[in-house]
Structure 1
């Protein structure tokens, strides 16, 4: 048996260790000449601005998406779990300890919450319902929100796929790529605005380049975007489940 020179053995060990560190650092690639974009959709090789344009187009073209996580707006943190399509959306919103469900079909927006939510809104705004009994009647019912009510403008955006994504998917500042990553088992390329201070976005390297994970600028929330193109039923609640509140809701 021919002996392997000791120097060569040491070099082999060092190369192996460096490869292991490279794999650990990215979770995706080896070292040497291995191509991190091999077998992908190829967007990882593109400039950051081009990647952003492609992922925005992919999001626009998709018929549906599920969006979950947190959004900070005007100092208020909202925890969302919404399923969206072009003509409406449905899901849950939690803010300041209060949870409620939203459902929009076309222009018709419905809000469903418990009695505590309605009683809290009454105490804050001084509007209807005027007592606990009235709040109890609204518990578990879908309350139809008038289009002219401040609550309509406040909440309908959470159910609007185009408006919500257009406002969320733009990174601020100079765009750059920030390596290959992994999001729930899917290989991604990360793009950043102003080295991350303007937000980061992980874009799928498998199949259509959908946005998968967004960290908003200024610590304004983190959102996961999943179930792209997976259809779901969207219909108005029955009359037995619905209350048409009338002129103004106690949510302003």
Structure 2
């Protein structure tokens, strides 16, 4: 009769179990990223910078809607934006030189809404009370229309923003509000930097514009929102060039 060393058997089983767990853990770590920062991503991080830029531009162009917020510096003025945009219009707030107003565009019709102080500082003291907190129709021939309609146009605004200048380069893996990104730069950052999502669709998530011309974040890609013309009781037709245009 053969004697069985139960203690040795238990030790052998324990060692085998530990080894199996170690192997499984290593495999799990490799599957979750391990030494490869692009493991489990959409793969754009492995592409050349020009291909990354092309893919993120295409993703932005085909998205149904987007929300953007941050600052844009143009013509010497800084505008702080919080806008929601889609192909048929846009809505949101704009702040410049201490004054805040809302923009709403439905089709080709642009509305501007602000309080009495805004209109007072714009130069129309007599009508400030009438225009207070009302949607004012902006005539299409008014300078204000040309100036602000672009802030409500997804294609125009993103087309002018999502281009880096100079030689493109990859600048490593980063994180934007909990989403993994690959960063690309133009001329080592002087031509702008763009963070592109590595999770799901390669949408642009953060842009630092060239020449200190502002920083913008992008969110709510593809999420629709209501954009309808305001009720007549909420609307004033100024009928001529807006004050301060």
TM-score w.r.t. length of structure 2: 0.86
Q: Is residue 2:47 matched to residue 1:61?
A: no
| Corresponding position of 1:76 | 77
| Corresponding position of 1:15 | none
Q: For 1:103 and 1:114, how far apart are their aligned partners in 2?
A: 15
| Corresponding position of 1:199 | 192
Check the 8 A contact 2:33/2:40 in 1, yes or no: no
Q: Is residue 2:100 matched to residue 1:136?
A: no
1:205-224 deviation line (CA, Å, top 9, x unaligned): 00000000000001110000
Q: Give the root-mean-square deviation of aligned CA atoms.
A: 1.1
Question: What displacement does 1:251 show?
Answer: 2.8
Q: Is residue 2:138 matched to residue 1:145?
A: yes
1:117-165 deviation line (CA, Å, top 9, x unaligned): 111111xxxxxx3x34x21110000000000101100110000000000
1:229 alignment partner, SS class? coil
Q: For 2:169 and 2:33, how far apart are their aligned partners in 1?
A: 20
Give runs of ≥4 in structure 1 deviating > 2 Å.
none
TM-score w.r.t. length of structure 1: 0.83
Q: Is residue 2:216 matched to residue 1:223?
A: yes
2:240 alignment partner, SS class? coil
Q: For 1:149 and 1:68, how far apart are their aligned partners in 2?
A: 26
Unaligned runs of 5+ in 1: 1-27, 123-128
Q: For 1:146 and 1:179, how far apart are their aligned partners in 2?
A: 47
1:208 alignment partner, SS class? coil
| Corresponding position of 1:188 | 181
| Corresponding position of 2:115 | 114
Q: For 2:77 and 2:184, how far apart are their aligned partners in 1?
A: 26
1:213 alignment partner, SS class? strand
1:41 alignment partner, SS class? coil
Match of 1:157 among 150, 154, 160: 150
| Corresponding position of 2:42 | 41
2:54 alignment partner, SS class? helix
Check the 8 A contact 2:33/2:39 in 1, yes or no: no
| Corresponding position of 1:126 | none
Question: What displacement does 1:74 show?
Answer: 1.1
Question: What displacement does 1:29 show?
Answer: 6.8
Larger Rg: 2
Q: For 1:181 and 1:230, how far apart are their aligned partners in 2?
A: 24
1:164-195 deviation line (CA, Å, top 9, x unaligned): 00000000000000000000000000000000
| Corresponding position of 2:10 | none
